Amino acid sequence: MSATLENVTEETLAAIAKAQTTGILQSTGIYSYDLSPLVQLIPVVTPFRDMVPRVSSPDGNPFAVWRSIMDATNSQPDPSMGIDYAANEVIFKEQDFQAKYMPTGLAGLATQDAFDFAKGYGDPYAVATFQTLNQVLIGDDRKLIGAQSFALARPAAPTLTQSSTGGTIGAVTAYVGVAARTGSGYYYGSGNSRGNSASTTFGSGSTNKITATVASVRGAVAYDWFYSADGTTWYYYTTTTTNTVTITKTIAANQALPASTVTPDMSSVVPTINTAADNGSANAKDYDGFLASLAGDYTSAGQWAQPGTATANPSINSSLDGAALTLAGGSIAEIENLLFLPLWQQVKCSPTALMMNAVQAQEIANLVLGSSAATTFLNTDASGRLSTTAGGRVGEIVNAPAGGVTVPIEVHVSLPPGTIVARTDRVPFPQANISSVLEYRNLRDTAQFDYGISRVANTAGGGPRREFEIRSIGAFVNRAPVAMGVLQNVA
């Protein structure tokens, strides 16, 4: 047999057999392909990354360092000194702060075979580069908000409340465990805090349920809940974005993750519980992002640390413990009472914006526009007939304690539901010397590094191939946590 015949593949023979028909039919296969351009369906919404200034450091250093004169107003001496007496001296309090530089980025590759098969249609390397950059931008947005290098505090043992209706739990002893997640853990499944648990015993019944509540963990955006029949073998029950859950059944296997409408964009990694040590809430590869700068205490060296272990973070922090926002006087009572008023009392200024997930933005719109005080506008169309537009949005909330300043509402996809942040971009303090309150200080901003042609034998995708990385190395800087606040566990 000749070499030419030996090279005839089964696919070729199948194509020849296919052509052997009586006459030309549709099944003969003489038709073209309506090949449309490559569709790429990756949403890239990165508002926080877009707004935080990215400033290059002039010096190489493991840390971005700055110094602050802290507010010591309440420690100052009495300014009245009496006739012929010298005035008492003002007290100054200086604090150094450090933010560690850490790299972030993602890699991509395209094989030579991919190039060959895409001839005349697309450039696999260009597609890989563009989509890798998209994921880098999304990752930057999530890390700027939720990255955290120090561990969350261990939750207290949950409080378990029995109910004889609404579930399928029988006469058993039930153990419920809980662990808290950071923003980075929420999106990337990198772990949770050290867990804690409690148990309750049902003496009778078959329709019992448990309502579990745990004290709010500062800096947590979600809570992983677990069930055990013996307090030793644990199974994942669910994740909530508030510090409460309802257990309606006993389980003997890990349950499915919540629906995407409940925990949008949450990692698909099924969490575990570790009651002996931190279970990944501390990510040594992370810098400390925005939420970490509002949650962590600061050490004598000015580095963020687990809440309760060093000097208390001066930002405002409150929890609704699973309660919903409410309407009062045409505004949102919890935002006024737990964010606006405490911030005004503490720093005498108003936040620049309210950051929240779309879930809370919709809740606020429903509350305000659903009240009888909401205004409906009737507009005439081209023919002069009246036309009304359904729906609306609440774009701003009046900060009454600050004298009526309006504070815009911003929707941030990298801030999980249940958490609202009052962010301050400008501090009107005399000679504050702050050009940017928030800043991504970098040694190298987003850059692509191309590797040489490489190969890995006996591995799919092993080559020949072109590899690359798109990466940055930087630190997140928050120069005024004292002027900001967080409202956690909003239903």
pLDDT tens-digit series, residues 199-210: 999 999 999 999
* Three-state DSSP string of 292-346: HHHHCEECCCCCEECCCCCECCCCEEEECCCCCCCEECCEEHHHHHHHHHHHHHH
DSSP H or E stretch at residue 354? strand 353-356
- What value does the mean pLDDT of the chain take? 90
Q: Are 191 and 224 in contact (CB under 8 A)?
A: no
Residue 17 main-chain phi, psi, to 5 deg? -60, -35
Provide the total of helices (H) and of strands (E) in the chain, helices listed first.
Answer: 10, 25
Write out pLDDT tens, residues 170-198: 999 999 999 999 999 999 999 999 999 99
Q: 302 Cβ partners below 8 Å, 6+ apart?
A: 65, 95, 96, 97, 98
pLDDT at 30 over 90: no
Note the CATH architecture for domain 43-73+91-150+285-376+390-491.
2-Layer Sandwich (3.30)
- pLDDT at residue 90 in the model: 87
Residue 161 main-chain phi, psi, to 5 deg? -115, 125
- pLDDT at residue 35 in the model: 78
The fraction of the chain above a pLDDT of 70, given in percent, is 92
* Three-state DSSP string of 412-457: CCCCCCCCEEEECCCCCCCCCCCCCCEEEEEEEEEEEEECCCECCC
Tokens of 266: 């949450």
pLDDT at 149 over 50: yes
Q: How confident is the model at residue 422 (pLDDT cuts 50, 70, 90)?
A: very high
As a whole number of angstroms, the distance between CA 190 and CA 114 comes to 32
pLDDT at 4 over 50: no
Tokens of 63: 């840390």
End-to-end alpha carbon distance in the chain: 76
Write out pLDDT tens, residues 338-365: 999 999 999 999 999 999 999 999 999 9
As a whole number of angstroms, the distance between CA 254 and CA 268 comes to 13
What does DSSP assign to residue 477? E
pLDDT at 26 over 70: no
Compute the average pLDDT of residues 158-175: 98
- pLDDT at residue 217 in the model: 98
Q: To which residue do tokens 């980025």 refer?
A: 105
As a whole number of angstroms, the distance between CA 97 and CA 67 comes to 6
Cis peptide bond N-terminal to 464, omega within 30: yes
Compute the average pLDDT of residues 232-237: 98
Q: 69 Cβ partners below 8 Å, 6+ apart?
A: 92, 93, 94
- pLDDT at residue 132 in the model: 95
Q: Are 317 and 291 in contact (CB under 8 A)?
A: no
Q: To which residue do tokens 């039930």 refer?
A: 174
**Amino acid letter for position 365:** A
**Higher-pLDDT residue of 280, 381:** 280
Compute the average pLDDT of residues 106-122: 91
Q: How confident is the model at residue 13 (pLDDT cuts 50, 70, 90)?
A: very low
- pLDDT at residue 323 in the model: 97
Decide: helix, strand or coil at residue 16: helix
- Domain extent listing, the chain: 43-73+91-150+285-376+390-491, 151-281
Q: How confident is the model at residue 19 (pLDDT cuts 50, 70, 90)?
A: low
Write out pLDDT tens, residues 364-374: 999 998 887 66
Decide: helix, strand or coil at residue 170: coil
Q: How confident is the model at residue 3 (pLDDT cuts 50, 70, 90)?
A: very low
DSSP H or E stretch at residue 364? helix 358-369
Compute the average pLDDT of residues 277-296: 97
As a whole number of angstroms, the distance between CA 18 and CA 431 comes to 83
pLDDT at 24 over 50: yes
As a whole number of angstroms, the distance between CA 401 and CA 412 comes to 25
Compute the average pLDDT of residues 111-117: 91
Q: Are 438 and 290 in contact (CB under 8 A)?
A: yes
pLDDT at 8 over 60: no
The fraction of the chain above a pLDDT of 90, given in percent, is 70
Compute the average pLDDT of residues 265-292: 97
- pLDDT at residue 5 in the model: 42
- pLDDT at residue 70 in the model: 74
As a whole number of angstroms, the distance between CA 216 and CA 318 comes to 9
Reported pTM: 0.89
Q: How confident is the model at residue 1 (pLDDT cuts 50, 70, 90)?
A: very low
